[in-house]
Structure 1
Amino acid sequence: MSTVYEAAALLPDPAELRVHLRALAVLDATIGDDPQFVYYTFDANWGPGEEAALMDNGSGDDFSVLFTSAGVLIRGFDHESAMSPYGTEDDQVWPGVIDEVPVTLRPLLDDLAFTDEHMGITRTRVTACLWRETGDTAWRTGSAIDFPAGRADPDGASHLFRLLTHRSPKTIQAHFEDYYERPVPLDAIRHVLAGHPVTPAIAAALNPAAGRK
């Protein structure tokens, strides 16, 4: 079983995570032909003093990584998870997932972008949650989550955060080649992941068709 606990052990520190998420957004925007269909985006002006890295696979799964002066909050939602609020008896977040989120970061979960209302019930779309307050030295999660038995990825953390916990250029390359169904040069992937600017040559390598339009 792979859960948010394994993800917490594999995530980099917040500064490195922010650089990596920005790079994923740049890669997706450059490789893709239509901004409506990208997985990864980065909003440097999400709110006052807040930045947001977002993933939406277009099939009902998404995550947000919110960077604030108080720390970082990661919220993931797997729509097929047995831990989804839509599948629980009381339509609430699975016990233990967000109960221990510190008060400094808790308001981030109430963002309307991450909640849904149906038949008078407001649900926070979350099956996996991690956080790290400023000054902390490790990622935190709920300490006593009773995961449903018989599922390899019960909270969705393994597939939701895969490109955050497995950050090698070859893993990133494989994702984009699979999604866009065409080759993506590894050297160009490495260039962007290293934080270098996208030059015309790198842009052309990542999306040769864009230059011919």
Structure 2
Amino acid sequence: MSEEAERKVRKRAAPKFIDRETVISAVLEMFSTRGFHGASMRQIAAAASTSLSNLYNYFESKDELLEFVLENTARALADQLEAAVAEAGDDPADQLEAAVRSYVDFIVDQPQASTVGITEFRYLQGANRAEVVAQRDRTEATFRRAIEAGAASGAFSVADIGVATRGTVTLCNSMSTWYRPDGRLSRSELADLQADLVLGLVRAQRRAVPGQPSAGAR
């Protein structure tokens, strides 16, 4: 075989470059449909349209892939909620409603990421788990600050800030387990219901008005 022919063979056999978005999309597809234990590195590589060897060039195991995807998902959610609250103004009820509506937006826009973030988190271990927890703590802190401010101002009536915060986060998280893109409720209807439930949970002086989010809520 000539040198040129050998070069062409090597080029055809060379692993394809994969970018960040491609990896995330492939992992989410596999983990959301097959679960962490049901998906293989080979299947993930195929979903990313790359070779198994190339995938191993970037990630040594499924554990690393799970951490990579969940950390990105948790960071994106925290960023989105913080931005929504920053735009909501100083009223605690507006801030809390904005955070809830932003969470609904995230789930509707990224249902696979939301599902995997809830169902597969339990498989993270050690340092991989710690980084994801740090990002999740940012989301919890966003809700907690709004609830604390509302309780301090008298806008909310809660017996325990921590319990109210965990209840709010749990309510928002749970939507990932039952939301379906082809469901009967629109995005705005889902946001109205979730916002009303959370404001009820903290016994806010006002409740969410269907179809009319607060001035700062998106």
TM-score normalised to structure 2 length = 0.26
Write 1 or 2 for the structure with the bigger share of strand: 1
Write 1 or 2 for the structure with the bigger share of helix: 2
TM-score normalised to structure 1 length = 0.27
